Each structure stands twice: as structure tokens, then as C-alpha cells.
Chain A
Amino acid sequence: MNRETLTSAALVLLLLGIPLAAMATGHNFYVTLASRMAILALAAVGLNIALGLGGLVSFGHAAFFGIGGYAAGVLAWHAMMLQPFPLGLPGTKLMPVIWLVAMLAAGIVAAFIGAISIRTSGVYFIMITLAFAQMIYYFAISFPSYGGEDGLSISLRNAFPGVNTLDPFTFFLICYLLLLAGLFLFFRLRDSRFGAALQAARQNETRLAAVGVSPFGIRLAAFVISAMVTALAGALYADLNRFVAPSMLSWHMSGELIVLIILGGTGRLAGPVAGAIVFVLFEHWLGGITERWQLYLGLVLLGVVLFARGGVVGLLAGKARHG
């Protein structure tokens, strides 16, 4: 077992240890904090597929996070109000169905956004993804049926067959297991032909085309998969807070997801986990001391970018992958 695998395993176990330690010491609030870490880590795992493997610096992944959140909120709202959708389709409070809808919706939107944005690169790609995300954000705040600017409440957390999702630790376990599934997906993608071609596209598109792989096709597929994973995290986030707000769709959220990845280690398997743990702890601890906690986070980020480009995982596991 190499150092990277050991570091990844340690970080994943550390995340599991946080709620266990919290419950053992009677600090049950930290269970919810750990759920937030797991959800943000999952969202960042999604972005890490596009950004870390494919070099696609999407500044619009909040769109997919928010779509996931709104899928959970809107489906639950229709179920609670006993108000079917057009064509008589009912709402639902079943998490697996919500997850599926969230991922499908985000996948369709990502295919559209990606089909346009992936034809560009560099700053243009960043700006186009941002523009699309902001369009969706403004659409959400101007849509009063689902709360508009005020957002949408989910009065009771959605259900998962056979378990009590109201129990914070049970809900954490759901988030944690989905995070593990996301990490497994990332691991398999990275080590597959798809992952190799995606990383090759980042280095030289023409060279990749000359071996029969469409750089556009492979990037689009990565962007869609990435969006679907982030949307799944968004659906969980809505259930964690029992509230969906347009802020889930805002550019701040897209920035946060990028920050998580840079803090943890771009393209590293456990980078998003490390990034989410550091980010949430910073937000919680420093946020309790000063309102300007983001200033300190900014300094840490600056330090990482200048002196530890492999992020937390790079510091713990050593040299980053090439690229």
C-alpha cells in the first residue's frame, strides 16, 4: 500500500471518526457538521472529475449543486402539498427517487452547458460556466412558486426505506456511504481508459485525436458525470438543512467547491475529503471567533497555492501526479 492510498484511507476514516467521537463525548452537534463535511466532499469529488482529471475549471458547478437541492425540495414540496406535477406525476419524499431525479436533471443541464462551454478553453470556459450558473440562479430567485428569493423549506427530512433519516448519525452514514461511492467512482474513472484519455486531453488535444479519441466527447462525458455527482450532493445538502436556497446556485458556492479541491489537492482521490474537513472546521471554529474568517481562509489558500500545490493530500502523501 503506497503513501497516497494510506493517506486517503486515513482521511476517509478520520471523517467517520468525527461523528463517533462527537457522540462519545456528548457533542452531538458535530455529527451534523460531519454530515456537512461529507456532503461538501461529495460535491467536490464531482468537481474533481472535471477539474482534477480533465483540467476543466468549471466556475458554475453550483448550478448542479443547486439543481440537486431544488430536485429534493421541489419533489418533497409536491409530495407534502399532495399537488401533482403536470401530467399527473406525483411528488416524492423517497431519497433514492430524489437522487435519481437530481442526477438526471443535472446531467441533462450539464450536457447542454458542456456542449457549448467545452468548445472553449481557459478563461472563456470559466466565464461561460459562470454565466450559465448565474442564469439558473436568477431563474430560481424569480420563480415564486418554489420560494423565489426566500428559498423552499422541507418541513420533514426525506425518507430512505428501512432507516430513520431524522437521526443525525443515520443521516451522516447515508452521506458517508454516498461519499465512499463517489470516491470509488473517481478511483475507477481515474484508472480506466476513460480517465487516462481525459488526462491526456488536458495535455494535448491534437495528440489525443490522433489516437482516435474525441477530446470534446471525452470532456463532455466527464463534465456530465461530474455534474451528476455534484447534484447528488446538492440533494443531500437540501435534506441536511431541510431548506433549499438560491444561494446553493450562486457563484460563491462554485468558488467554495474550487477552494475545497485546491485546499485538499487537485486531482487527488482524497483531496475533496481533506478540503471539506479543513474548510468546515475553519468555518465553524474561526467563524465563531471572527466574522472575517474567510480572510484567514484566504491566507491559507494563498499559502497552499504558493507553497503546497498538492494541498493537504500533497503535504501528507508527497509529490502530486504530473500534469
Chain B
Amino acid sequence: MLLEVAAIETFYGPSQALFGVDLNVREGEAVALMGRNGMGKTTTIRSIMGLAPARMGSITFAGKSIAGRPAFRIARLGLGLVPEGRRCFRNLTVRENLVAAARPGRWTVAGVHDLFPRLAEREGQYADTLSGGEQQMLAIGRALMTNPRLLILDEATEGLAPVIRRDIWSAIRTLKQEGQSILVVDKTMAELLPVADRCVVLEKGRSVWHGTPTELTTTLQDRYLGV
């Protein structure tokens, strides 16, 4: 098992946001983390990354307990995060954004340019001069530059134009085919379900359903996801 999250509980000050989330990702697998807005998807991801440390439960990555470690050490173990809302380093150029995150491995600046040719064209531009879609590509590229064993995508296509969304999903499918382990949060069911090997549904800070996309019936989608 690459990532094992067991019964984590996370708080923001006195407010409890997660009440017991279980989640596993195997090597080479794509797992979709689903749920309506405010159910704890982003908090789960922040807890895994050490950005909102869990007070209870355990998080194990590649056999090592990562709970309580600083975020940069967790990322160095091989977790690459594409945060919600893109969040590139706007005071850096496209190339500098990629280089700042670089760690040795398969992914290089040239590799990211192959995946997202638009970034090659915009190499010398500052991140805040890019379109939303290009910033999202840059955020994914930056996460890949860390050469992660597990890529975590938090709402990677939210708020993007359909044509850009298509490009991003195409890139995600390519990554999946290449064997990249992925944990993905997204609301676009039509694109998400074909990519995912398994799904985990969160409701009110708890993981309430685990299964394959084919098992996720319309009734369940209606009940948990409101779609």
C-alpha cells in the first residue's frame, strides 16, 4: 500500500473538521476522493500533506508514518500536491516555478513542456500573467517536478473553460496510463469516474462509502454527491 489513512480527525482551532477518514491508495492506482462542498475533502488532503495536521488517527506513506512531520518532509517523501485554486508563485516565471520545486527523477522541465506545450511557449512569463488554465497546468507541472510517487490533485479543473478542462483531464489520463499513482478530488463525474480505479466518498468529515466507480450507482451519487 502506498498511502494508508486510518481514522484521522482534524481540527481548525476548536472546530473539528474531520471525524474519522479512512483512505488507501495502492501503487499505480487512481483514487477519487468525492463529496459535496464542505464535507472535508480539502481538509483530508491538507492533513495528508501536513498542512493541517491530524490530531488523531494514522497516516502512513510507503510504510512510514508521516503524521506530525513538517509539510516539506512529507512532500520530500514523494507526495506532490496540486492545491485547490492553482496557487502558483506569482512573483516567479513559469520556468522558475518549475525549477523551484525540482527534485531528481523522471520529470524535468522538458518533460513538463511535453505534457503541457503551452508552458513551453510561456516559459519566461510571470505566473500571474497566465490564464487560469495555464496556471493550473503550471501547478500540475510544478507538482510533477517534485517527481512524486503519489500525485494529489485538489479540484484541478474547477472554474476552467471546458476546452482547458479537456486538456487537463487528457494529461491526467496520460499520467495514469504511465503508472502514476493519483489521489484526485473533482466534481466532474463524467471525467473523474473513467479515470478512477476506486472511489471514497466523504460526508460531514467521515468516509462513508468505498468502492469502484461501477459500484457507485445513481442512487448513491444522488445521496452522497447531490448529482
- A: residues with CB less than 8 A from B are 192-193, 196-197, 199-200, 202-204, 206-215, 321-323
Contacts and interface: CB of A to CB of B under 8 A. Distances in A.
A287 B70 CA distance: 53
B166 interface: no
Given A209-B75, A210-B71, A322-B91, 13 more contacts: A193-B99, A193-B102, A196-B97, A199-B89, A204-B87, A204-B89, A207-B83, A208-B72, A211-B142, A212-B75, A212-B76, A212-B103, A323-B91
Interface range on chain B (Cβ under 8 Å from partner): 20 to 34
A103 B106 CA distance: 38
Contacts of A214: 70, 72-73
B49 interface: yes
A214 B89 CA distance: 15
Nearest to B147: A212
A213 B74 CA distance: 10
B92 interface: yes
B91 A202 contact: yes
A203 B101 contact: no
Given A196-B97, A210-B83, A322-B126, A203 B76 contact: no
Contact of A207 (B76, B87, B99): B87
B112 interface: no
Contacts of A207: 83, 87, 89
Contacts of A206: 51, 71
Contacts of B70: 209, 214
10 contacts: A193-B100, A193-B102, A196-B92, A197-B101, A199-B100, A200-B92, A200-B100, A204-B87, A209-B70, A214-B72
Nearest to B126: A322
Contacts of B108: none
B69 to A, nearest CB: 11
Nearest to A207: B87
Interface in B48-91: 49-51, 70-73, 75-76, 80-81, 83, 87, 89-91
B123 interface: no
Contact of A211 (B50, B101, B128): B101
A193 B99 CA distance: 5
Nearest to B129: A322
B197 interface: no
B146 interface: yes
A212 B146 contact: yes
Contacts of A215: 72
